[in-house]
Amino acid sequence: MDTARPDQHTAPGHDRELVDALRDDLDAATYTVDGVESFLGPLAAAALHREQSVPARRVLAPALRSEPDPVAVLASLFLLGDEVAASAVEQALPSLGVDGAARLGLVRRAGQGAGDAVQALVDVRPYAAADAAGAVDWWLASDLGELVTGRRLAADHVLGAGGASITLAQVTARTPVGRVLDLGTGCGIQALHAARHAREVVATDVSRRALAFARLNADLNLGAGAGAGAGAGAGASAPGVVTLREGSMLEPVAGETFDLVVSNPPFVITPRAAGGAGTSSGTVLPTYEYRDGGRAGDDLVRDLVTGVGAVLAPGGVAQMLGNWEHRRGEPWTERVGAWLDESGLDGWVVQRELLDPAEYAETWIRDGGTTAEREPGAWAAAYGAWLDDFASRDVEGVGFGIVTLRRPLDGARPTLRRLEEHTGSVHQPLGAHVAASLAAHDLVGALSDAQLAQTRLVVAPDVTEERFHTPGVGDPNVVVVRQGGGFGRGVHASSPLAALVGACDGELTVGQIVGALAALFEVPADALAAELLPAVRGLVRDGFLAPA
């Protein structure tokens, strides 16, 4: 029997009838995240999430011997990449069959005769997530990972829903819009999420293989008529049109405008010599289309931040992920802030993680499937090339974070320039919080101090107060107003500010509360208002307080 892993450079096929049959079979088999995890049990399921397959195989092997459960068959075939008897696959995919799956490019026959086996050519796995529009249960096709192949990824590897993709889906606002651009769609995961709240989604990628996977996933999850350029109807609950285009960055949509742009771009900072993939030391590094944009340093992210405004409609929002360099003597807020200034857009950047050059190199060398154990020479050469590249620009660290941009309305100037670091836990999905924060920024920005003082506010239901006392002292020496949702922010509040927040129940205006507190603390009302009103603006913007 031929057990060698086949070359993976064949893209999945495109046949609507076969995709419909695949969808019916996966649904009937209960091949879902819950279905697979229930079958495997918590120990094997958790190990599989860590890319450890031994516990899962111990569960699945006996389940495949007699009357195999469809979930066991599909998990063994597509998640573990094991050869499975053709008869078992026929039972698990009764509508599609082995021949139909082969025509779609999902599997191949690994032997001959009645006892032949079937081997997966792609990864097909259930996907469950929650974004700002609610929960989803889909299936995603992508290339087989290192767990199955046991070797480096191919240069044109198409990634499934990785951690960055899931993060972007969760932080994206899901306000109903007309047109969405998914720039660098990969397997199409962002386009799927966007199709739930947009009339039209244009998904672009430089990789034809990625677009083939995106087309398959759109057809599979949005139903017949919703993939690659076909409409799904005008009903409120119908998914929007998904159109696929090949090309780099913004080139495929030049001259068009969108209400929302989402992008998980190839932002990884990979060593690059001028004009090629080699480095100044002569080391040639593998490049991966899904993560390497071919630019030096963080130039790709800078160009996207400064250029995306060209395709944003007035009031349109762009949400993306990115890396940026921390260079010696230059705070990252100044570096990235200069990009925001050049863009001419409202900008909000949240740095979620910071890695030193060695940590960054280790992360991305390992991500591509090169390990010190399997390829010690290649590992050491790549590691050195990364460190040399960072040293050439005095890079002390690399930040990762979320970038939200917005084009001001025609004739308006940018009003939002916010760069902050938040490495703590957050309450996902963040999309609704991001949308509410942008709206609140506009609200408080339009109010004078006098108008804000006439506003009635209420405390958000997730807000709590923490008081810290020195033993034996009656009054607290620290008061923290904390947000349970969103970014989970904690604001150190003075006693008057904490009292104001506590009094915001919608009955009194902000000005009335400030006047009462001025009398209580025996301070001039004007002075207290000058202290508290800027803080109130920030609390409204961040969702601690809201108009009654």
Structural domains of the chain, ranges and CATH numbers in brackets: 16-128 (no CATH), 177-262 (3.40.50.150), 265-423 (no CATH), 440-547 (3.90.930)
Query: What strands, in cross-sheet order, belong to the sheet with 463-468?
Result: 463-468, 478-483, 490-492
Quickly state the pLDDT bin for 236 (edges 50, 70, 90): very low
Which residues in 441-504 belong to E strands, given as ranges? 456-459, 463-468, 478-483, 490-492
End-to-end CA distance of the chain: 71
pTM for the full model? 0.91
Which of 105-119, 285-299, 430-444, 461-475 is modeled with the greatest confidence?
Answer: 430-444
Label residue 277 by pLDDT band (50, 70, 90): very low
- Cα(370)–Cα(382) distance, rounded to whole angstroms? 9
Closest by CA position to 208, among listed 11, 19, 7, 368: 11
**pLDDT one-digit tens code per residue, 483-521:** 999 999 999 999 999 999 999 999 999 999 999 999 999
Question: 512 vs 133, 452, 477, 522, 529, CA distance in Å?
Answer: 38, 11, 26, 15, 10
Give the integer Cα–Cα distance in Å for 292 and 439: 35
Q: Is 143 a residue whose pLDDT tops 60? A: yes
- Confidence category of residue 281, pLDDT binned at 50, 70, 90: low
What is the per-residue pLDDT for 245? Answer: 97
Average confidence (pLDDT) over 414-430 = 94
Q: Looking at residue 240, what is its pLDDT?
A: 80
Question: Average pLDDT for residues 122-140, to the nearest whole number?
Answer: 96
* pLDDT tens profile 429-462: 999 999 999 999 999 999 999 999 999 999 999 9
Amino acid letter, residue 208 = R
Q: What is the mean pLDDT of residues 221-227?
A: 62
Cβ–Cβ < 8 Å for 464, 540: no
Provide the pLDDT for residue 230: 34
* CA dihedral over 521, 527, 533, 539, signed as positive or negative: negative
Which residues, 6+ apart, have CB-to-CB distance to 1 below 8 Å?
83, 110, 111, 117
Distance in angstroms (rounded) separating the CA atoms of residues 46 and 59: 13
Q: How many helices (H) and strands (E) does the chain have?
A: 20, 19
Mean of the pLDDT values across residues 355-384? 93
Cβ contact 432:341 at 8 Å: no
Q: What would the two tokens of residue 150 be?
A: 């046991």
pLDDT digits (tens, 9 = 90+) for 387-398: 999 999 999 999
Tell me what the mean pLDDT of segment 73-78 comes to: 97
Sign of CA pseudo-dihedral 288, 289, 291, 297: positive
Q: Is there a cis peptide before residue 429, judged by omega within 30 degrees of 0?
A: yes
Alpha-carbon gap, residue 129 to 135, rounded angstroms: 6
pLDDT of 4 over the 70 cut: no
Inter-residue contact 328 to 245 (CB < 8 Å) = no
